[in-house]
Structure 1
Amino acid sequence: MMLGGVVGWPIGHSLSPLIHGAWLSAAGITGVYQALPAEDEPAFDALIARGKAGMFRGLNVTAPWKLRALRAAGSSASETARRAGSANLLTFADGQVAAESTDGHGLLTALREQAPGLELDGARVTVLGAGGAARAAVVALKDAGAVVGVVNRSPDRARQLVAALDALHQTTEELRDADLVVNALPVDPAVDVDALSPHAVVMDMTYRPLHTPLLTAALDRGMTVVDGLAMLIGQARPSFQAIYGVAPPPTDVRTLCLRAMGGVS
């Protein structure tokens, strides 16, 4: 029995067990992927210890434990995870733990699927936020050739991020020049969509609700939007392969998620 799961707090809302469970069933794999609550650091560390003891093949990690996941792997963390400053995937073998960040992969996959006309190489991108999600986004977008700026309510946090990743520190006034705006905040940002270029793509990493107020406003203006569910599924694909050793089979997991959310595509 191959065991995996997703760790976070709170975790009951996570769609990851539904996504990975569908892939396990379609692939005919005898395995389990479950939501694992970790309310505090000792609970999180206990799950890592269980993984090292061979009880898990791998674990996805969500808030608030992505930084602690990176630290748990130490020198075994990938370059991508180290640059992102967090890890959302831990794999275990021979008593050791390795860390990876697939969030950037998920972001780029979502953009390719829902904004295929956007050329990232040379694009002007603004990321809203300066936390772990924003940092992962900046790394992926810069690697794709974009010119990336960061807007955050805390100037100090924004300056730390841009200094570490060679990005630009921007203000909300500069959003009008962006080809892509990515909300990496856990809340709805104070952004006037009418101030953006009508040709800009707007992305929100949040997937509950599917169409956040930011995306709804952009849709009402006729703009191209990218939702957080596409990113969630995109980051899950390499995680599934890392944990279970095979690529996820072709399965319409998005429709399954939308049904579970009570929404439509």
Structure 2
Amino acid sequence: MTRPYAEVIGDPIAQSKSPAIHNFWLGKLGIDAEYRACHVTGAGLADYLDQRRQDPDWRGCNVTMPHKQAVIPMLYSIEPPADIIGAVNTIYPAFDRLLAGTNTDAAGFIEPLRAELEKQHYFRMARILGTGGAARAIIAALAQEGFTLVLAGRDPAKARALLDELAPSGEHHAIDLAHFADPTDFPFDDREDCLDLVINASPLGMRGQPALAFDWSHAPPGAIAYDIVTDPLETEFLKNARAAGHRTLDGLNMLIGQAALAFEKFFDAAAPRQHDAELRELLTR
């Protein structure tokens, strides 16, 4: 006997925490369905989507590295905000099982910042480290929230092109990631009534990846450090931020937030967020 299922695809995929999140919620809600991880290479992406579209039990998939942009020409429709971001992280069968793609990363990223964003600020600035697929959603989300962006990448020209594409209005800046590696004695002005973020939107600092070189003298007083890496959850980036006196947000914030929106698409039910503390405990064992 078969039952409905959704899954996450990527290359690699073994490290994904998405099955644990979605199956936790399915269990809490008593929904007879499952969520899996499926290793899909770039060469196998089109075949995967064609096969799943024909499977009546398949409710959709989340898309992780490195397929978030590669899937776009394979889909029937691209829904907001994926059309603006230019990256898809959620695919689901729509009318006549034609495949639609959307992006829940942007809303998931913003979710833990919502209380801060409801306040009035004299100025908002975000230093974003990384220019990959996740950065696209973060750039678009923060531009909509009125931030001035400093986007740092190993290729500043790529960073500039991303800003021009995703945040064409505003005084945004593209710089070399190496700029932040060495200490600075820059005298920050009064940051009262300002909101500053420093975001690691790269895989640097992830288990098996090189460390992220960031000296916290580049962060204004009161800045919030936000790392989207989830393995390890307590990255050196966050440890060093806390040691320098900054508030921190770990990668489970974005991961759980974006998953909740996808869960509703897949299973037509709201994720039971009242159990977030228990879920976090499960994911950090």
Is structure 2 residue 221 aligned with structure 1 residue 198? yes
CA contact (8 A) 1:84 1:136 kept: yes
Alpha-carbon separation, structure 2, partners of 1:162 and 1:78: 21
CA contact (8 A) 1:104 1:140 kept: yes
CA positional deviation for 1:26: 1.2
- Length-normalised TM-score, structure 2: 0.83
Is structure 2 residue 205 aligned with structure 1 residue 180? no
Matches within 5 A, 1:1-265: 1-42=3-44, 44-53=45-54, 54-74=56-76, 76-93=77-94, 94-112=96-114, 122-165=123-166, 166=168, 168-171=172-175, 172=179, 179-188=196-205, 189-262=212-285
Q: What CA deviation, in whole Å up to 9, does each residue of 1:67-88 have, x standing for no partner?
A: 12222225x1013112211100
CA positional deviation for 1:186: 0.7
CA positional deviation for 1:18: 0.8
CA contact (8 A) 1:22 1:251 kept: no
Q: What CA deviation, in whole Å up to 9, does each residue of 1:29-51 have, x standing for no partner?
A: 11111011113322x22221123
SS of the residue corresponding to residue 27 of structure 2 reads: helix
CA positional deviation for 1:119: 6.0
Alpha-carbon separation, structure 2, partners of 1:2 and 1:121: 49
| Counterparts in 2 of 1:72 and 1:118: CA distance versus 1, 3 Å | farther
| Counterparts in 2 of 1:69 and 1:254: CA distance versus 1, 3 Å | farther
- Length-normalised TM-score, structure 1: 0.89
SS of the residue corresponding to residue 123 of structure 1 reads: strand
Aligned residue-pair number = 259
Which segments of 5 or more consecutive residues in structure 1 lack a partner in the other structure?
none
CA contact (8 A) 1:84 1:132 kept: no
SS of the residue corresponding to residue 24 of structure 2 reads: helix
Which segments of 5 or more consecutive residues in structure 2 lack a partner in the other structure?
190-194, 206-211
Alpha-carbon separation, structure 2, partners of 1:118 and 1:72: 41
Alpha-carbon separation, structure 2, partners of 1:120 and 1:92: 41
| Structure with the higher fraction of residues in helix conformation | 1
CA contact (8 A) 1:8 1:36 kept: yes
CA contact (8 A) 1:15 1:257 kept: no
SS of the residue corresponding to residue 100 of structure 2 reads: strand
Q: What amino acid sits opposite 1:39 in the alignment? A: T
RMSD: 2.4
- Bigger shift: residues 173-182 or 46-55: 173-182
CA positional deviation for 1:109: 0.8
Q: What amino acid sits opposite 1:239 in the alignment? A: A
Q: Which structure has the larger Rg over C-alpha atoms?
A: 2
CA contact (8 A) 1:91 1:242 kept: yes
SS of the residue corresponding to residue 206 of structure 1 reads: coil
